[in-house]
Amino acid sequence: METLISILVGILVTVAVYLLLSRNLIRVILGTAVLSHAAHLLLITMGGLKKGSAPLLGEGAESYTDALPQALILTAIVISFAVTALLLVLAYRTYKKTATDDLQALRGFEDE
Amino acid sequence: MLTITLSIFIPFLAAIFIPFLYKRIGRHIGWFVIIVPIALFILLASFIPSIANGETYEHTIRWIDSAGIHFTTYLDGLSLIFGLLITGVGSLVILYSIFYLSERESLGRFYVYLLLFMGAMLGVVFSDNLMVLYVFWELTSISSFLLIAFWYHRKKSRYGAQKSMLITVSGGIAMLAGFLMLQFLTGSFSVREIIATIGQYTDEPLFLFAMLLVLLGAFTKSAQFPFHIWLPDAMEAPTPVSAYLHSATMVKAGIYLVARFTPIFGTEMSWLYIVSGGGIFTLFWGSFNAVKQTDLKALLAYSTISQLGLIMSLIGLGSAALNQGADANSILYAQATFAALFHLVNHSTFKGALFMVVGIVDHELGTRDIRRLGGLMAFMPVTFTIALIGSFSMAGLPPFNGFLSKEMFFDALVNARNFDLFDASTIGILFLVVAWIASVFTFVYSMIIVFQTFFGELHIEKLEKQSTREASIGMLIAPSILAVLVVGIFFFPNIIGNYLLRPAMNAVYPTLAGAEGLAPKIYAWHGFESVALWMTVGVVVVGTILYKTLRYWKGIYTVAPMKWSLDSVYNALLETLENGSSFLTRFYMRGYLKDYLVYIFSFFIVSVGAAILLTGSYSFDFSNNAPISLNEYLIVFAMIVAAISILLVKSRKTAMILNGVLGYSIAFLFVVFRAPDLALTQAVVETVTTALFLLAFYFLPEWKKEDSPIRTKVFNGLIAISVGTIVTVLALTVQGNKMFESISSYFEDSYNLAGGKNIVNTILGDFRAFDTMLEVVVLFIAGIGVYTLIKLKVQKEGRDYED
């Protein structure tokens, strides 16, 4: 399972990097979203998968899966959500101001 | 002795008070400033008898103990000569500048810079600690920079200041490196301790580098070839500054350094070659170029370069006394250094006087171009007399002090032919011939100063200020005193020889200290059999002929085109550096986000990829893998398909839905991985994110097809695949090599520790609640950010905030 997820993470990273290298602003933001998916999956995989039951006491389980990566991912999900939201509004403002979402055209002045 | 340490600080303290006094006092502020150097001169002069008796004074203030850097001052014969020159010429220059500069100039600024310089220069010559010496050394560069650009509204002043700053500071940095090497070798920053122990380290490889770097500092400061080019451009400074800094004191800091370090490096053969060879060539080059100058100050600048070369070469030859062993000749060889120190004093007197004379001419007539000047003798008799004394002394004629030191210079060169290391018939002769030719040129330009300025016809219409009157008495006092000294030293040279030069010789040659004949008596007359006398006669005869025929051979100066001059090389170098760096920066700072991302990813690929490959640390261990069921395969397969499809779809809505597929599949995977809280959050966040994306699409244009060329796409694809592969390899390697057990078993006791049964929630709320708090802050800030960005749009209609 870990190997499979690692390969999946690699594919997601590949897709994310390709999107980040794009000229289109929305594609770049989409790239960051995919990249954070990859990071979350990688985090949980590193903790080991399906080693026990869900980390809830009172179920009387023998062993539990690692709870720490789950807490870390929970934090990361919220933060990446906040960042994505901000990026989207930024993109919206950029478009309003410059009337383009092409990053090649958003270079600024020729000789700064 | 605290007095010496204080004498360094007094000018700095005075400099602090000047701005306060300047605004309040109606009189010329220079009258208050001049008290400082006069007091210091008297103070230092009071040490002459005890120093002449062989005493030295030392005082230490502990400064940075851990680094061995202490504020140690040391007064011996060598530093006393320089101290007296700095304060003595300093007093005269300030006296002169009181009459030279009008009240309309910003005098407060001028005297602050000048006092800074004076303090720094005293610091250079009195410091025993290399680091403190370096601090003061750079301070002289900085104050010189400020003084050259005193009239900062002039372009040429700024150019000259920048040039001198660049060259002297580069040399200073090299010198710092040399100092650090010396400290590394000997373990001490103290010059005297290094002198005492350096004998054991002369074979170390660093020793030679230290020597070269220290010499680089000395050569740049003392305007030796090819670093002399800053000095003529520094002539844009007010004339008192040129007289003080660029003839009598700062340019001699390099000479001081070489003399001070002779006991350290003098035993080395290369030291002798570099210092004397460099000096002799500078002597020739400076005197050769001085003849073609039409600006009197530029002429004096080249003459200073040439005379500094003379002194430098003498000190170099003098070091033969150290590396030739203690045979009978070594005392004889040391005479060269004696001549150097003597000429150092003489040069300060006559060159200071000459600069002041040129300043007077400039001040009274508004020009210092010798093509416009002539016939000034009639109405400027005093100025003329001083100029005559200074020039003839510079040319090496009796009865002026320059004659004595020029004779001693020739004597030293004649002696140098006996060196074991020189092939007497070749290099020794070569030195002698070059020096003699240089002296002839010196004679020619000295005559130019006197005859082309003061004789001939007066062309009053060519002058800017058409007045025919002598300068004010006040302006003449300082150069007159110097001129009297020039003559006085000729008649009573042994006063200086005994009281100043002898202790200085002991300082330069600690091993020979006190030896009989180290400081000989100076005679004006050596008898007819003296080679030096006939050389001087030759100089006068050939020099007179050359001067008379000047206009016939002046053409040789135009043989080499301007673009070959060292100045153009310097300018071209600066330009190339600027263009080169700007080209380089433009080459990679292209302003496209994509390019920077490519750099970042490439760096990641190269560093991490190479580290994995080169250390061979990739190793896979699949034994601990959890089993996979069919529906998990399906989820992963769906994700892979969705991810790849994002790249290919034409519509952004499809891409968004595919991203949603990824998000929800991850939520499913979280369920599979026994992470209920994550699954919940992921599902909710994914929903909101998708909604946000769709909202943004309402305002944004439909995305266009990527129309970049296929080559770019392949390149991007390669980078993306490499990054993905490296991440996978890393992930697999890490999983196969767990080094220790997880700490999570501790959290499994959460009910007892925190009173909660949901372990993930207790971690978030109890064990690691700081993370959660700050995560909330992140969310809060993002909310404010979103709000501001949208609000700002409303306000923007009226005003443009970007300007």
Which of B706, B724, B778 has its CB closest to that of A79? B778
- Subunit contact A92:B700, Cβ cutoff 8 A: yes
User: Lowest-confidence range among B482-496, B577-591, B618-632, B707-721?
Assistant: B618-632
Using CA coordinates, name the residue in chain A closest to B765: A71
pLDDT at B578: 94
DSSP helix/strand/coil, B14: helix
pLDDT digits (tens, 9 = 90+) for B550-608: 888 877 777 766 667 888 889 999 999 999 999 998 888 888 888 999 999 999 999 99
Question: Residue range B135-149: average pLDDT?
Answer: 94
Q: Which residues of chain B have a CB within 8 Å of the CB of A112? A: 591
Predicted local distance difference test score (pLDDT) of residue B137: 95
Average the pLDDT over B735-739 and give the result: 78
B-interface mutation test, from A20, A80, A103, most B Cβ less than 10 A away: A20
Which among B297, B254, B246 is positioned nearest to B275, based on CA atoms?
B254
| pLDDT per residue as tens digits for the range B311-370 | 999 999 888 888 765 566 677 788 888 899 999 999 999 999 999 999 998 888 888 888
What pLDDT sits at residue B423? 55
Helix (H) or strand (E) holding B467: none
Residues B5-29 pLDDT 10s: 888 999 999 999 888 888 887 678 8
pLDDT of res. B507: 85
Higher-pLDDT residue of B79, B105? B79
In the 8-state DSSP scheme, what is residue B71? E
| Residue bearing the bigger pLDDT, B471 or B716 | B716
B422, pLDDT greater than 60 = no
Give mean pLDDT, residues B659-685. 93
- Sequence-separated contacts (24+) of B134-143 with Cβ below 8 Å: B134/B172, B134/B175, B134/B176, B134/B179, B136/B8, B137/B172, B137/B175, B137/B217, B137/B221, B137/B253, B138/B169, B138/B172, B140/B250, B140/B253, B141/B165, B141/B168, B141/B169, B141/B172, B141/B221, B142/B116, B143/B113, B143/B114, B143/B116, B143/B117
Question: Residue B803: which pLDDT band, with cuts at 50, 70 and 90?
Answer: very low
pLDDT of amino acid A112: 44
Q: Which chain B residues touch A57 with a CB distance below 8 Å?
A: 748, 750-751, 757-759
Residue A82 is predicted with a pLDDT of 94
Contacts of A88 in chain B (CB under 8 A): 692-693, 695-696
At B280 the pLDDT is 92
CB pairs under 8 A between A and B: 277
Q: Is the pLDDT reported for residue B126 higher than 50? A: yes
Q: Which pLDDT belongs to residue B643?
A: 93
Contact: A54, B674; criterion CB under 8 Å? yes
* CB spacing of B778 vs A53 below 8 angstroms: no
**What CATH fold (topology level) applies to the domain A2-98?**
Helix Hairpins (1.10.287)
Instruction: Answer yes or no: is pLDDT of B292 > 90.
Output: no
Among residues B740, B735, B733, the alpha carbon closest in space to that of B615 is found at B733
Q: What's the pLDDT tens digit per position in A45-84?
A: 988 887 788 888 887 777 888 889 999 999 999 999 999 9
- Model confidence at B796, in pLDDT bands (50, 70, 90)? very low
Q: Closest approach of chain A CAs to the CA of B721, in angstroms?
A: 5
Which of A44, A85, A104 shows the shortest C-beta gap to B786?
A85
Q: Which of A9, A16, A96 is the closest to B793 by Cβ?
A: A96
Q: What is the pLDDT of residues B522-541, one digit of tens each?
A: 776 666 667 778 888 888 89
Question: B666 and A5 in contact by Cβ < 8 A?
Answer: no
Instruction: Calculate how close chain A gets to B362, using CA atoms only, in Å.
Output: 46
Inspect the interface and report whether the beta carbons of A91 and B758 lie closer than 8 Å.
Answer: no
Strands of B476-564 (E only): list them: none
Residue written as token pair 């009989």 = B516
Give the whole-number percent of chain B exceeding pLDDT 90: 46
Distance CA B512, CA B319 (A): 12
Q: Identify the closest residue of chain A to B734 by CA–CA distance.
A: A46
SS (H, E, C) B356-378: HHHHHHHHHHCCCECCCCCCCCC
Summarised one tens digit per residue, pLDDT across range B433-470 is 899 999 999 999 999 888 888 888 877 777 766 666 77
pLDDT at B552: 81
Under DSSP, is residue B141 helix (H, G, I), strand (E, B) or coil? helix
Q: Nearest residue on chain B to A74, judged by CA atoms?
A: B678
* Residue B325 pLDDT: 59
Going along chain B from its start, the domains and CATH numbers come out as 1-265 (no CATH), 612-769 (1.20.120.1200)
Query: By CA distance, what is B674's nearest residue in A?
Result: A54
Chain B residues 700-759 with CB within 8 Å of chain A? 700-701, 703-704, 706, 708, 716-717, 719-721, 723-725, 727-728, 731-732, 734-735, 742-744, 747-748, 750-751, 757-759
Q: For B363-410, how does the pLDDT look when each residue is reduced to its tens digit (9 = 90+)?
A: 888 888 888 888 888 888 898 999 999 999 999 888 888 888 888 888
B754 CB neighbours in chain A (<8 A) are none
Collapsing DSSP to helix, strand or coil, B501 comes out as helix
Does the beta-carbon distance from B789 to A5 stay under 8 Å? no
Give the pLDDT of residue B328: 60
Say whether pLDDT at B420 is over 70. no
The minimum CA-CA distance between B791 and chain A, rounded to whole Å, is 11
Residue B45, classified by CB atoms within 10 Å of its CB into exposed (0-12), middle (13-18) or buried (19+), is middle
pLDDT over 70, % of chain B = 94
Averaged pLDDT, B70-78 = 91
Give the per-residue pLDDT at B14: 92
Residue-level pLDDT at B362: 87
**HEC sequence for chain A:** CHHHHHHHHHHHHHHHHHHHCCCEHHHHHHHHHHHHHHHHHHHHHHCCCCCCECCECCCCCCCECCHHHHHHHHHHHHHHHHHHHHHHHHHHHHHHHHCCCECCHHHCCCCC
State chain B's mean pLDDT as an integer: 87
| CB contact at 8 A, B284 and B342 | no
Domain boundaries, chain A: 2-98
Report the alpha-carbon distance of residue B237 to residue B145 in Å, rounded. Answer: 9
Are A21 and B598 within 8 A, CB to CB?
yes
CB neighbours (10 Å) of residue B461? 7
Q: Quote the pTM value.
A: 0.83
Considering only alpha carbons, which residue of chain A is nearest residue B626? A1
